[in-house]
Amino acid sequence: MDYLDDKDMQLLRLLQKNAKLTVKELAGEVNLSTSPVFERVKRLEQEGFIKRYAAVLDPDKLNRGFTVFCQIKLKIHDRSVGYDFVKEIMEIEEVAECYNISGDFDFLLKVQVRDMKHYQDFVFNTLGSVDSIGSTHSTFVMAEVKNTHGLTI
């Protein structure tokens, strides 16, 4: 981050809040003309500071408002078992996020489904078909208190 100046950081903050801002709007916010802002944003994208642009969807409106954090313990700790688990998890649409973690469990999944019945079906039929899973522990979200969908920079 040594070569990001204050203008780059301002652009990143602005785009993180609203990726639909035009180059002209960004330029007005950072007090530069449009050409250098366009070049800066292009460089930030090419160098991987901006990974992608996305719309933040409302899970309730899309009938996926029931969020569960599911901790997974693998049957055995073996490279091929871990690889197979990750490959299978990547294909499951209800899994919004997956993290390899330390501690008593190996992975943490953020699962978004319609309701408890949908989650029960998901655990029995979808996770139940993943051979590498030894055990699971589910924590049900009662309310989302904070989710910035971004980094504090």
CATH code, 10: 1.10.10.10
In this structure, the dihedral spanned by the alpha carbons of residues 36, 38, 39 and 42, taken in order and rounded to 10 degrees, is 160
- In this prediction, residue 98 carries a pLDDT of 98
Per-residue b/e over 120-143, b at no fewer than 16 CB within 10 Å?
eebbeebbeeeebbeebeeeeeee
In a domain, 100, yes or no: yes
- In this prediction, residue 56 carries a pLDDT of 92
Q: What are phi and psi of 112, to 5 degrees?
A: -125, 120
d(CA 132, CA 97): 18
Domain of 108? Answer: 66-140
72 and 39 share one domain: no
2-53 pLDDT, tens digit per residue, is: 689 999 999 999 999 999 999 999 999 999 999 999 999 999 999 999 999 9
pLDDT band at 64 (very low <50, low <70, confident <90, very high): very high
104-114 pLDDT, tens digit per residue, is: 999 999 999 99
Q: What is residue 43's DSSP assignment?
A: H
In a domain, 54, yes or no: no
